[in-house]
Structure 1
Amino acid sequence: MKHDRTFDPQYGTAVELMPGVRRLTVNNPGPFTFHGTNSYLLGTSRLICVDPGPALEGQVDTILKAAQGAVIEAILITHTHVDHSPGARLLKERTGAEIIGCGPHRPARALLENEVNPLDASGDKDYAPDRLLEDGEMFEAAGISLEAVATPGHTSNHLCFALAGEPVLLSADHVMGWSTSVVAPPDGSMQDYMASIDKLLARSESVYLPGHGGIVRDAIDYVRDLKQHRLDREASILHELTKGQRSIPEIVSVLYAAVDPALHPAAGLSVFAHLEDLADRGRVEASPELSLAARYRLTG
């Protein structure tokens, strides 16, 4: 996948993307956030805030300044990673708006015996929504109608939001504008992620507003590329296993040889997600048991 390095975050500024849609990028750049996490303000005289970001008072001040006195009627949350949802509590304190959207943070599966969740600190365990939205449920505030689209994979509670009457989807971290999504067990599930990719391919939205990076145009083609990227990665993993039993670090050292070694642990989680999916489908088996420390081989 090609990364768009031209994205200008314009920190502290509400960037109008289309009538009634503005983007605010949090100044929290990093290897997993690109130039920062995107919050969105929907509406004009009345507003919905989507993903206020981390629990930074300055970020809430930026959102309220951008609102220019317009009432924020609802705070919409796509998923519970600490760069997306904790700011909702601060914004609610300042505005009284309800927190609406995804359910509480939860792993995609139970931890295996002796397994430690390497991304445990990334989950917002204090998230407490006032109202949950189910897949396909319509929500209206500030004169705007949105459809909740359940897209588990990156997290088990991940939601996208489709703007009714518009070819626009707020895709959060399921489809980002600069990189493939992190899918890391036990928080994430590759099987769920791929099913969610297919779900979006069956929809009609052609413009995505992602949680990181710029606008994704020609979104269906972009999502097809994302799917093919994952299928190619799976094929590469299977090819490595044709050479014999391999550990995750051994697979990563080959498949991610051109990637900064500092990112290899994250790459290992992605490989683990693929191996977990392949094991569920009976394509590979682990010795002694499915884990980051196991050695993997082809079945049969």
Structure 2
Amino acid sequence: MGRMEHPPQPWPVGAVERLEPLVGRVLATNAGPYTFTGTQTYVVGDSRGLAVIDPGPDDAEHIAALLAAIGDAPVLAIACTHTHRDHSPAAAPLAAATGAPIIGCAPLTLEDDGPRSDAAFDTDYQPDRILSDGEIIRLPSATLVALETPGHTSNHLCFALLETGALFTGDHVMGWSTTVVSPPDGDMGDYMNSLERLQQREDRVYYPAHGPQVDKPQQLLRGMIGHRRLREKQILRLLEEAPASIPAMVEQMYPGLDAKLLRAAGQSVLAHLLDLERRGMIARDGELFLAA
């Protein structure tokens, strides 16, 4: 499960791509090593009423592109899959411009004493309504159902479009790379359970927040779950040979990795280690981890 190469430019930044009659996509201007070509905001519905999924970063150019895509249609909901800063900050200015309520994931406050990842989160996010699993956003032409999919973040939701079998997967399943699961909020056990939950469904297509649409969801899910299980076995083999620190494991598990991605790899290894420790399969001694 490697990372997809960036497609050749120009990318369709700011333009509305019509994916199906009820779904349009607008690409934000925040391309990067963790966002691929940028955050993809989805506009769902028709001229009688729209929902905007993952409004993206608080960027004037992107917000202007969204307002152009919306046109004269009433916006009935601004829905966020989670509150990383490339997903939810545009919700507030878009709500101010359209009068729409912010509906979707819960705000996130980390309360642990460990290494903090608050900097990645939108601490200004204030939803008007928090959706629980199975709750509905009802539009004149479309029905969106919230699915709780924790793992990438504890507050992550996906949204199922009942009329067409599409699933908006946020960062839970991406079209270009495996998802970063970064403790303390990211949880590998929850992430695997959420992937397995999607396996029980029959969604036709996935529309992720980053990367191309996924036309064979079940095939991708099998690959993602298999990839994580192989990483887990790799960690257990290394620790059976000798106790090891996270940097030493990253060096062996990710040879030649771009330096920009080393921290994410370390967090992914940590997420696996915490899950294995919780299951009683490994132990730790200071900075070292060892087989139980």
Specify the TM-score bucket, using the shorter chain as the normaliser: over 0.9
Q: 1:10 aligns with which of 6, 9, 12?
A: 12
CA offset digits 1:115-141 (Å, max 9, x no partner): 221x32111111110011111112202
- Partner SS state of residue 229, structure 2: helix
**2:208 matched residue in structure 1:** 210
Q: Percent identity?
A: 44
Alignment correspondent of 1:296: 289
Query: Residue 6 of structure 1: CA displacement?
Result: 6.0
RMSD: 1.3
Cα distance in 1 for residues equivalent to 2:198 and 2:118: 28
- Taking the TM superposition and a 5 Å limit, the aligned residue runs for 1:258-273 are 258-273=256-271
- Cα deviation, 1:133-171, whole Å, max 9, x if unaligned, reads 111112202431111000000000000000113221000
> Does the Cα contact within 8 Å between 2:46 and 2:141 map onto a contact in 1?
no
Query: What corresponds to 1:228 in structure 2?
Result: 226
Aligned to 1:22: 24
Find the residue that maps to 1:166 and give its secondary structure.
Answer: coil
Q: Any idea what SS the aligned residue of 1:246 has?
A: coil
Structure 1 Cα separation of the partners of residues 243 and 45 of structure 2: 55
- Tell me which amino acid in the other structure corresponds to 2:171: D
Mapped contact 1:206–1:220 kept (Cα < 8 A): no
The number of residue pairs the alignment matches comes to 289
Looking at structure 2, the residues matched to 105 and 154 of structure 1 have their Cα atoms a distance apart, in angstroms, of: 13
Instruction: Pick which of 6-15 and 34-43 moved more.
Output: 6-15
Distance 1:247 1:268 in 2: 10
Partner of 1:186: 184
Q: Distance in 1 between matches of 2:226 and 2:261?
A: 22
Counterparts of 1:233-252 in structure 2 under 5 Å? Answer: 233-252=231-250
Distance in 2, matches of 1:6 and 1:21, equals 23
Off by >6 Å, runs of 4+ in structure 1: none
* Cα separation, partners in 2 of 1:142 and 1:59, compared to 1, 3 Å: farther
Q: When the two structures are superposed, what TM-score results if normalisation uses the length of structure 1? A: 0.93
* Secondary structure, aligned partner of 2:160: strand
Q: Give the alignment of 1:1-300 within 5 angstroms.
A: 1-5=1-5, 7=7, 9-45=11-47, 46-107=49-110, 110-112=111-113, 115-117=114-116, 119-288=117-286, 294-299=287-292
2:14 is matched by which residue type in structure 1? Answer: G
> For 1:226 and 1:97, how far apart are their aligned partners in 2?
36
The 1-side partners of 2:250 and 2:22 are apart by: 44
Gaps of 5+ in 1: 289-293
Distance verdict in 2 for CA 1:142–1:98, change over 3 Å = farther
- SS at structure 2 position matched to 1:28: coil
Which AA in structure 2 matches 1:296?
A: F
